[in-house]
Chain A
Amino acid sequence: MSRYFTEDHEWIDVDGNNATVGITNYAQEQLGDVVFVEVPENGKELGKGDDAAVVESVKAASDVYAPVSGTVSEGNVALADDPSLINTDPEGEGWFFKLDLSDTSQLEGLMDEAAYKEFVASL
């Protein structure tokens, strides 16, 4: 399994054709306390860069984009009851949705952990 990152502060764990998407610890810190989350429904087709989920904190509302194209296989229903999971464990329990990837070659344009760290440091 390998983990990739986007410039919009999403992470994506990829295992074959299956992927899990969430937002990074840096994104969570910038948002502050998350108070509302909307995750996509199963079966929703997402193109790379499409609005996939909504995350709202006391400071701002933001869209979470699909880092690559695919079909949603599961949204994290636990977030609706406990959006604080995104603050306490953004890169684990606070995942947003799972995707069946339609084109794994799109992963090539994403960053690995070292490149993302460097990207965040440059902000």
Chain B
Amino acid sequence: MSMNNQGRPTRSEDIETGCAPATFTGNRALILEEKLIFESGSTDRTGIDFPAAPDAPSKLGGLERSVEIGLPGLSESETVRHYTRLSRQNYGIDLGFFPLGSCTMKHNPRLNEKMARLPGFADIHPLQPQQTVQGAYQVIDELADWLKTLTGMPAVAMSPKAGAHGELCGVLAIRSALEARGDAREVILVPESAHGTNPATAAFAGYKVEDIPATKEGRVDLDALIARLGPDVAGVMITNPNTCGLFERDMKKISDAVHEAGGFVYCDGANFNAIVGKVRPGDLGVDAMHINLHKTFSTPHGGGGPGSGPVVFSEALAPFAPLPFVEGQGGEYRLVEEENAEEHHASSFGRMVAFHGQMGMFTRALTYMLSHGADGLRQVSEDAVLNANYILRSLEDVLDAPFAPSGPCMHEALFSDKGFADGFTTLDIAKGLIDEGFHPMTMYFPLVVHGAMLIEPTETESKDAIDEFVGALRHVVAAAKSGDANLKAAPHHAPRRRLDETMAARKPVLVYKDSETAA
């Protein structure tokens, strides 16, 4: 063995590699086996010494806590370390490729963060006098303008907090419009290729949900939809581009038929990233559509949120949009609320939230739009679709891609589990990808494809990153096809091996109990 003059070995080839022995602590190098915070520290200790409370009479009328609260005593450094270690076990878009289909996990530009942290945006309060927050209102108004321009729709409600909340906002506007004309329709039609939140939203808003089947090409069955339309149908909820990664080419025909039958068209805009600057949903006859700022317009999500889901409206639904909203006139901005809504917004269905929405996300989304410009946003869509098609064509020789023959995909590529060895499933592919250092794709959704794998790379991944992912996935797929027993036991390298998802769902442990109480 060659040694340097400090006695420190410089080469490691003689060291026995292979199966690593267990360590004394359970830690593996810098991957620490982290205890729950209740298991570290002690209730007898405290991180900060407070002086004893003065002996004053209680004002709680006998409702004071009479038992110990049981919080662990930890110093500041112990607390910081605990949460920092936990954060290192997380996986996020800042760490690597995150190909969750229909989630648009794109990079969150740091310029957005810089703008959102400007004190004029970050340190204001919703109840501040309106003349002191004119700049913030201008941001909301300009963002609203971009959204209306990009969608070709005349109105937008900025307050909904995320996708499903936006869906609810749209469906409540549909309900209000129908009620206003004394039309008690009961059914909302939802195609199989829609997001799972669509039927949930319709049911939550009090509608009966009916499925519309998909064609073999993965699109809405237009004939089946038209056949079902009638005086009891309040509207349809369509995801476009849909969850098979395909553009609903018959959208205009669908809208025309639904309008003809007296209903409204809700479009789930979660997949808007594929068509920004290319298609205006307003031109397709859409009456309401939510836009996920946290997907399409690069604000953080997937644990880093909060989300933000503004809803654009057609002329027909605009009068029913929720309050409040920002209105600008001659460089002055004001908030239109209940007390001043009479003039031109008296038929609003009410409020979705207490205040105007996610100010921090508005600032980030507008920053993204201004830094890209209209041509840049169009290129975003083009690159997102290009990347997804690159994935589709790089994998279709090894994975079954049921809709690949019908042409290019949009922002995401869909594969099935056809051709895997007996007993091997999509779940094994996901676990194998974890070993390879990738967050798995969306799996088992949409339901129209057996063992679905839905991959959305977004435009912010480089060709190198995608090639690396494709290489890893091809390797894992080969193992699933040959029936490699090692894959069945994956992940091998994660801090925890394969978890019992069934037991976790059937007998979840939701509240910490120390071992004595639990036993």
Contact = CB atoms under 8 A, between A and B. Distances in A.
A58 B501 CA distance: 7
A35 B447 contact: no
B505 A58 contact: yes
A60 B450 CA distance: 12
Interface in B481-519: 501-502, 505-506
Contacts of B501: 33, 58
Interface string A66-91: 00000000000000000110000000
B502 A60 contact: no
B444 interface: yes
Chain B contact residues (Cβ within 8 angstroms of A): what range?
under 10
Chain A contact residues (Cβ within 8 angstroms of B): what range?
under 10
List 9 tightest A-B contacts by C-beta distance, closest first. Answer: A35-B505, A33-B502, A58-B501, A59-B444, A35-B506, A58-B502, A58-B505, A35-B502, A60-B447
A36 interface: yes
A60 B505 CA distance: 12
Interface string A92-112: 000000000000000000000
Contact of A84 (B444, B447, B506): B506
Contacts of A35: 502, 505-506
Interface of A: 33, 35-36, 58-60, 83-84
* Chain A residues touching B, majority SS: loop
A35 B14 CA distance: 51
A33, A83, A84: residue with the most chain B Cβ atoms closer than 10 Å:
A33
B444 A83 contact: no
Nearest to A82: B506
Contacts of A84: 506
Contacts of A58: 501-502, 505
Nearest to A32: B502
A80 to B, nearest CB: 11
Contacts of A83: 506
Contacts of B444: 59-60
Nearest to B444: A59
Contacts of B447: 60
A84 B500 CA distance: 14
Contacts of A36: 505
A83 B502 CA distance: 11
Contacts of A59: 444
A33, A59, A83, A84: residue with the most chain B Cβ atoms closer than 10 Å:
A59
Nearest to B450: A30
A24 B304 CA distance: 42
9 contacts: A33-B501, A33-B505, A35-B502, A35-B505, A35-B506, A58-B502, A58-B505, A60-B444, A84-B506
Given A33-B506, A36-B505, 9 more contacts: A33-B501, A35-B502, A58-B501, A58-B502, A58-B505, A59-B444, A60-B444, A83-B506, A84-B506
A117 B137 CA distance: 64
Nearest to B508: A35
